[in-house]
Structure 1
Amino acid sequence: MHNIILKLKFVFSILKRDGLCSFLRKMTKSLKNKQGNGIANKLFIEQWFRGEGKLENLYGKHEYNSVKDTHIAFIIPGTGISGGIAVVLKHANLLKAKGYNITLLSQDGNTRIDWFPNQEALIIPFDEWNKLKLINICIATSWTTAPFLSVIESDRKIYFVQSDERRFDIKDTHTINIIEATYKMKCEFMTEALWLQRWLKEEFGHNAHYVPNGIDLDIFHKTNPMEPKSEKPRILIEGAIDVPFKGMDDAYSAIKDLDCEIWIVSNNGKPKKGWRYDKFFESVPFEKMKEIYSSCDIFLKMSRVEGFFGPPMEAMACGCAVVVGKVTGYEEYIEHEKNALVVEMGDIDAAKKSVERLIKDKELKEKLIHNGYATVKNWNWEHSNKLLEELINKK
């Protein structure tokens, strides 16, 4: 990568001469794999950061005529299993069902997403965006997609911020500076959590439109267990094992010595050497998660960074009693002692005691489960999507 950076001036001259789409296609084709997409995207982001693109005023206006005439393009960083991508897909497919013209531009070049149920929105490689007819609204969905708002031709440009990505265990100061620069962009902002809305206002002065996440109760609901439960309580921990801020080490450490069954779900990384567990599931499609949640008694989540914090809500919908670490986004819907037990972030001993408490106190466990069901009924995607429509149709 160091040698590539040394050649930036030469690459940028090609970029300026041929245009972004031509450049991305040439880079991808020359490397003939996903690495081409990744390097091309990194080079453009570097150019954007070093140049004046990050200072450009991207505010625009779309004169709304009709739903059918509104073309909305979402830029997504990839097509792999991800909670953030799932949120975008849900919004995109709801808008498509209402008659909007929807396109997803994938930075990894893939055009299929099979893991998300009822996915019907058109997906095309990002470098083919200029083949599209007029884009009315272009929505960036992560820091790696935001700089491209400066070159994609559209009436309005919106940055959908799903977390403070500077906190994602990034050791490279330069990358953190680029991420921060995207939050200083002069465009419209939207976000999924009240803490993110406050943070964007306090640190960057943005009045971000609040579009909270929802839960699809057709996908997440109580089912029969995948296999009969034993006398031992069954504890579920979920998260990317190889992503430290997802807190899977803490979650496992809290329950490893308990007399219980341990089920683990991870979309990035396998259980570490020495971990004991009864079931391990990897890269689980969304519609299958309800079967896993419904097979377990207690759900423990110890993330250190979250945006909206969706998995505990999914677990509630499927009948789990929930224990969580206090993380950004938990206060959107979680209430200590009412629908979950909440411990301080990283407090392994408190998490262990909370799980033990639920194992012993059946009445408390049933209260949390009952109130969890009541909670999820207040968070539906249709309401969330209507709030997005208000932003889309803003004059």
Structure 2
Amino acid sequence: MQINFVLPAMGNSGGIDVVYKYATLLREEGHTVTIYKEIIGRNMHRYKSRIKNWVHCIYCTVKSMITLKKNKREYDKYVLSINNLFMKDADAVIATSWPSAYRVNKLNKDKGKKFYFIQDFEIWDNEEYVKETYKLPLNKIVISSWINQRMREELDIGPFPIVFNGLDTDMYHNTGKRKEDTSEINFLMLNHILPKKGVKNGLEVFQKVKKKYKNCKLRMFGMCDNSNLPDDVEYYQNPTKQKLLDLYSNSDIFIFPSLEEGWGLTPLEAMACGCVVVGTNTGFVLDLGQHENNMMISTPNNVDEMVENVEQLIMDTELMKKIQKNSIETIRQLEWKQSVQKLISFIERL
């Protein structure tokens, strides 16, 4: 099959990496894959001011043109616009974000059966415009039960087929034995600018734990800077894959404080490395999480409950070891080959 994906021209994220992983695996299965990226910036309707939105479009267009050659990856094809003129015929065309959903919906039938790969309930740009894309006549694929739940609650649609994102266990595994002779408890957490990631709650959890247990240290990582973090946080901005792997492998507890989440890639990577996740009941947790078995689960936005879960781990080393072992076993369910076969099966049925 010829399969075309549509991705943003700029930016990096776990969700974008997932699309590239699918592209690689689909090619290994004998399919032809092209990833289209639109150079001309489109109105994200992010601001109430038309002028601000217009300036943002110009900014995105200029930045796309400047970084085009520098950031070009395998399978990429940059085009002025996602339309019938610039895209080749295919068996399937897959939108991967709400702006691309509008573009894909307007393509003619020769460009392939139309799909919408949804990795989050992504209403942070403009809630009205985003929700309208979920009602478009595209064949939707989601990555978690939580997304289906939101679709049902907010729009009374679904459920849609679920294909879990896989995880590369060849990459994400423990790189070495933690120092057992140290009394220091190492915490790790993602930093993010989106409020829904719950970073403020996560920091509050750590500070409350640290008041009682002085031997705690917090490391954080992320794409943004550390201007929102206390001075005592050891921060790594845009770490390499190897550095991130070392952070996971040398941390005891990963704080996952999201208020809502489409999936949650970083806590799963942490679990693969034997780091115990203390997290909230959202995203992948609804599908894979088991309290006191493969992670510690709390209610979203409940700081005190999360603190209690952390303290339970600190006081019970046997529980910590059990969860470390079981979390690694859980990750083995997320074989990428299984995910790509489910995706292929769904596309071929249509």
CA distance in 1, matches of 2:273, 2:320: 14
Q: Match for residue 35 of structure 2?
A: 104
Q: 1:215 to 1:243 in 2, by over 3 A?
A: same
Deviations 1:159-198 (A, max 9, x none): 11112122x3x5xxxx211111111101211111123235
Which one of 129, 137, 155 corresponds to residue 178 of structure 1? 129
CA distance in structure 2 between the aligned counterparts of 1:390 and 1:266, rounded to whole angstroms: 35
How high is the TM-score relative to the length of structure 2?
A: 0.82
Q: 1:177 to 1:131 in 2, by over 3 A?
A: closer
Letter in 2 for 1:122: D
User: Which residue, 253, 268, 281 being the options, matches 2:224?
Assistant: 268
Q: Could you say if the C-alpha distance between residues 343 and 366 of structure 1 is closer, same or farther in structure 2, counting changes exceeding 3 Å?
A: same
1:187 match: 138
Provide the rounded CA distance (Å) in 1 between the counterparts of 2:77 and 2:182: 44
Sort the Cα spacing of 1:75 and 1:380 in 2 relative to 1 into closer, same or farther, 3 A: same
RMSD: 2.6
Aligned counterpart, 1:147: 102
Indicate yes or no: 2:158 matched with 1:158. Answer: no
Specify the alignment match of 1:334 in structure 2. Answer: 289
SS at structure 2 position matched to 1:106: strand
SS at 1:135's partner residue?
Answer: coil
Query: Which one-letter code corresponds to 1:219 in the other structure?
Result: M
Pairs within 5 Å for 1:211-360: 211-224=163-176, 230-240=182-192, 242-257=193-208, 258=210, 259=214, 260-272=216-228, 274-277=230-233, 279-360=234-315
Pairing partner for 2:74 from 120, 127, 134: 120
Distance 2:180 2:16 in 1: 33
Q: Does 1:377 align with 2:332?
A: yes
Are residues 271 and 231 of structure 1, via their aligned partners in 2, closer, same or farther at CA, if it must alter by over 3 Å?
Answer: farther
Structure 2 equivalent of residue 392 of structure 1: 347
Tell me how many residue pairs correspond in the alignment.
315
TM-score w.r.t. structure 1 length?
0.73
- Runs of 5+ consecutive residues of structure 2 not aligned to the other structure: 40-63
Q: Which structure 2 residues correspond to residues 189-208 of structure 1 after superposition, within 5 A?
A: 189-200=140-151, 203-206=155-158, 208=160
The amino acid that maps onto 2:312 is R
How much has 1:150 moved relative to structure 2? 2.8
CA distance in structure 1 between the aligned counterparts of 2:331 and 2:312, rounded to whole angstroms: 23
Asked whether the equivalents of residues 82 and 103 of structure 2 are also in contact (C-alpha less than 8 Å), the reply is no
Q: Distance in 2 between matches of 1:336 and 1:226?
A: 24
